[in-house]
């Protein structure tokens, strides 16, 4: 971590505009208001809310935001420079930006001659006039104007004099920020640094950087720009955006503070929560491998790694996970050693731990996977150590699947026979598929002995075929089950060449874990049938 302290870099969030242009990423107007409030509480400096001239949703968002008081951030509306041949005061896009009533307006204009002539159908001189007129008009209406130089680095590569001229006209018209955009996301850090340094030395207003991730270099390019003088970074939470996405602020903010020594005001302890909040609002699964905040960011599987981290976390962690609101995880697999088992269980004699490791590797070889199925691991560990006491004895199950002509779906019925405290229970149940029927039959059979099982709910069920080729339908199948009792959630696993048998094993472990977790009385409670 850096010990230097430097004035903070301005963080400009465009999740609500550029992020929503990403594939599969969508927010309602109400979602956008909620996210804006959360970003403000987190400490973002500027929130770009959308393009009011482009769609009704963004118009509605800005209307809603007129009743919202932000405590830290300033709100910005986004739009383009005036159209060719239209006076600024008559341009519908610029007028829509004024109606949003935001303190900041971010305008984008063309820096690349290719875009000027091909996309706009304008001359290079006309483009300069469009930029200058638009910035001056909005400044005259009392707005702070940020100027986004779209495709700046491509333009600078093709014609540096003209790219700089577009910035000059925006500056002279009163732009408060000049933001250099790597819109196609294909520039390299050295070139970004060179061009950014030239701009920072030439102009007396803060320079910003807006990068896309098409070459997986958005973060690297932004940091390169910051190192040579850029003082604003634009991006999105989670890196969502067009094509491969935008710069990920969740990666940049902690790097600026922890690695480069900038005094960022953002609450790093809330970083993971903010990232999850945006994912939840967009109805997207969080990125497991996201730097800093992902579930895997501080997860350790290899035995050598786990052993070292137990002695000193710095051996395999670049920062303490708690700093960014995350936590350390120790995973279990055939790569595990004694340290993994010790981290996941209550210690034990060396020979016991060695036996658990041996059994773990044996079961993983047979198709089990205990990563994400720690409840099954805990039960297995108790069995190997001789500490396992079952709450019921299984005497078998039967599953019938019946489909006749005219039936839309097959009819499934499962029956199970269990023994609890010397009492036999033989119960059947139907369900939406064989696994659901089996789950219901188990719950019905054990429910009168253990009423707390009524709290159980199956929340996830995954099947993976582990081997194919010549084995075909006789391949080994792994089933992973996630169960909750409304308080805790846990995972179990089963593996077999038969999907029903694998499911049965996973379900049994899930029920047994609940009973062990709840510390049921030694003798079950029997009720009348």
> Any idea what the CATH number is for the domain that residue 499 is in?
3.30.160.270
Beta carbons of 115 and 150 less than 8 angstroms apart: yes
DSSP-derived secondary structure letter, 117: I
Q: Do the domain assignments include residue 293? A: no
Q: Do the domain assignments include residue 522? A: no
Residues 338 and 240 in one domain: no
The residue among 453, 410, 459 whose CA lies nearest residue 430 is 410
- Residue 408: predicted pLDDT: 73
Q: Which residue has the tokens 């710069």?
A: 247
Digitized pLDDT (tens) for each residue of the chain, 529 residues in all? 555 789 999 999 999 999 999 999 999 999 999 999 999 999 999 999 999 988 899 999 999 999 999 999 999 999 999 999 999 999 999 999 999 999 999 999 999 999 999 999 999 999 999 999 999 999 999 999 999 999 999 999 999 999 999 999 999 999 999 999 999 999 999 999 999 999 999 999 999 999 999 999 999 999 999 999 999 999 999 999 999 999 999 999 999 999 999 999 999 999 999 999 999 999 998 999 999 999 889 987 777 887 788 889 899 999 999 999 998 877 665 555 555 655 556 556 777 777 877 887 788 788 888 777 888 888 888 888 888 888 999 898 999 988 777 677 788 999 999 999 899 999 999 998 888 899 899 999 999 899 999 999 989 998 988 865 444 455 789 999 999 999 989 999 999 988 889 999 999 999 999 998 765 443 444 433 2
Q: Which residue has the tokens 């005061």?
A: 89
Beta carbons of 442 and 508 less than 8 angstroms apart: yes
Q: Do the domain assignments include residue 402? A: yes
Q: Do the domain assignments include residue 4? A: no
Residues 317 and 236 in one domain: no
Distance CA 171, CA 135 (A): 9
Residues 251 and 360 in one domain: no
Residues 87 and 221 in one domain: yes
Could you tell me which residues come within 8 angstroms of residue 43 by beta carbon, excluding any fewer than 6 positions away? Answer: 11, 72, 264, 265, 266, 267
Q: Among the three residues 320, 350, 365, which one is the final residue of a domain in this structure? A: 365
User: Could you list the residue range(s) of the whole structural domain that residue 358 is in?
Assistant: 299-365
- Residue 223: predicted pLDDT: 98
Q: What is the CATH number of the domain that holds 307?
A: 4.10.430.20
Q: Do the domain assignments include residue 199? A: yes
Residues 245 and 333 in one domain: no
Residues 317 and 349 in one domain: yes
Structure token pair of residue 330: 């120790």
Residue 422 φ then ψ, to 5°: 85, -5
Could you tell me which residues come within 8 angstroms of residue 235 by beta carbon, excluding any fewer than 6 positions away? Answer: 12, 13, 14, 210, 211, 218, 222, 246, 247, 248, 249, 252
Q: What is the CATH number of the domain that holds 15?
A: 3.20.20.70
Residues 266 and 355 in one domain: no
Distance CA 202, CA 274 (A): 37
Query: Sign of the C-alpha dihedral, residues 247, 251, 253, 255?
Result: negative
Residues 18 and 133 in one domain: yes
Beta carbons of 370 and 403 less than 8 angstroms apart: no
Q: Do the domain assignments include residue 375? A: no
3-state helix, strand, coil in the chain (%, to 5): 45, 20, 35
The residue among 227, 288, 484, 494 whose CA lies nearest residue 376 is 494
Q: Do the domain assignments include residue 1? A: no
Give kind and range of the element (H or E) at residue 98: helix 92-99
User: If phi over 0 gives left and psi between -120 and 50 gives alpha, with beta otherwise, what is residue 439?
Assistant: alpha
Q: What is the 3-state secondary structure (H, E, C) of 255-312?
A: HHHHHCCECCCCCHHHHHHHHHHHHHHCCCCCCCCCCCCCCCCCEECCHHHHHHHHHC
Distance CA 483, CA 457 (A): 6
By CB atoms closer than 10 A (0-12, 13-18, 19+), residue 362 is exposed
DSSP-derived secondary structure letter, 118: I
- How many residues does this entry show for the chain? 529
Residues 361 and 399 in one domain: no
Give kind and range of the element (H or E) at residue 227: helix 218-227
Residues 95 and 243 in one domain: yes
- Residue 338: predicted pLDDT: 55
Please, where are the H alpha helices in 312-373? 338-344, 350-365
Residues 434 and 323 in one domain: no
Q: Do the domain assignments include residue 379? A: no
Residue 6 φ then ψ, to 5°: -135, 150
Beta carbons of 220 and 250 less than 8 angstroms apart: no
Distance CA 246, CA 212 (A): 4
Q: Among the three residues 247, 281, 315, which one is the final residue of a domain in this structure? A: 281
- Residue 336: predicted pLDDT: 55
Residues 249 and 310 in one domain: no
Beta carbons of 376 and 368 less than 8 angstroms apart: yes
Number of structural domains found in the chain: 3
């Amino acid at each position: 971590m850096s010990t230097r302290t430097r004035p903070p870099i301005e963080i400009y969030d465009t999740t609500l505009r550029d992020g929503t242009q990403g594939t599969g990423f969508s927010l309602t107007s109400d979602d956008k208001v909620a996210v804006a409030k959360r970003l403000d509480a987190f400490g973002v400096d500027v929130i770009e809310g959308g393009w009011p001239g482009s769609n009704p949703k963004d118009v509605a968002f800005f209307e809603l935001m007129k009743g919202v008081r932000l405590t830290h951030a300033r709100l910005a509306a986004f739009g383009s420079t005036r159209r060719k041949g239209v006076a600024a005061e008559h341009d519908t896009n610029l007028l829509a930006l004024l109606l949003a009533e935001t303190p900041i307006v971010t305008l984008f204009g063309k820096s690349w001659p290719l875009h000027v002539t091909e996309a706009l159908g304008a001359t290079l001189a006309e483009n300069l006039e469009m930029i200058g007129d638009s910035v001056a008009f909005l400044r005259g209406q009392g707005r702070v104007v940020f100027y986004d130089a779209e495709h700046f680095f491509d333009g600078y590569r093709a014609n540096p004099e003209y790219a700089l001229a577009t910035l000059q006209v925006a500056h002279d018209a009163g732009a408060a920020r000049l933001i250099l955009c790597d819109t196609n996301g294909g520039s390299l850090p050295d070139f970004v640094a060179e061009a950014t340094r030239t701009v920072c030395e030439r102009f007396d207003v803060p320079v910003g950087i807006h990068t896309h991730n098409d070459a997986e270099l958005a973060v690297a390019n932004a940091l390169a720009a910051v190192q040579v003088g850029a003082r604003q970074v634009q991006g999105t939470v989670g890196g969502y955006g067009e094509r491969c996405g935008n710069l990920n602020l969740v990666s940049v903010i902690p790097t600026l503070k922890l690695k480069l020594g900038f005094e960022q005001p953002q609450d790093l302890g809330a970083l993971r929560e903010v990232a999850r909040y945006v994912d939840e609002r967009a109805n997207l699964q969080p990125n497991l491998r996201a730097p800093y905040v992902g579930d895997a960011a501080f997860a350790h599987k290899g035995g050598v790694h786990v052993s070292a981290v137990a002695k000193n976390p710095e051996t395999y962690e670049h920062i303490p996970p708690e700093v960014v609101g995350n936590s350390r995880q120790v995973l279990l697999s055939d790569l595990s050693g004694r340290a993994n088992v010790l981290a996941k269980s209550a210690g034990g004699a060396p020979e016991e731990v060695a036996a658990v490791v041996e059994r773990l590797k044996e079961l993983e070889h047979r198709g089990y996977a205990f990563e994400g199925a720690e409840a099954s691991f805990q039960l297995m560990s108790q069995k190997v150590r001789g500490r396992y006491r079952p709450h019921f004895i299984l005497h078998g199950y039967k599953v019938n699947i019946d489909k006749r002509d005219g039936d839309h779906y097959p009819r499934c019925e499962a029956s199970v026979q269990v023994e609890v405290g010397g009492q036999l229970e033989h119960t059947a149940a139907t369900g939406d598929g064989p696994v659901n029927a089996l789950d219901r039959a188990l719950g019905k059979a054990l429910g009168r002995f253990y009423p707390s099982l009524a709290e159980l709910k199956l929340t996830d069920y995954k099947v993976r075929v582990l081997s194919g080729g010549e084995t075909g339908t006789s391949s080994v199948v792994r089933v992973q089950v996630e169960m909750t009792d409304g308080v805790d959630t846990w995972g179990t696993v089963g593996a077999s060449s038969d999907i029903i048998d694998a499911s049965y094993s996973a379900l049994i472990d899930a029920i047994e874990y609940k009973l062990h977790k709840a510390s049921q009385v030694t003798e079950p409670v029997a009720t009348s049938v």
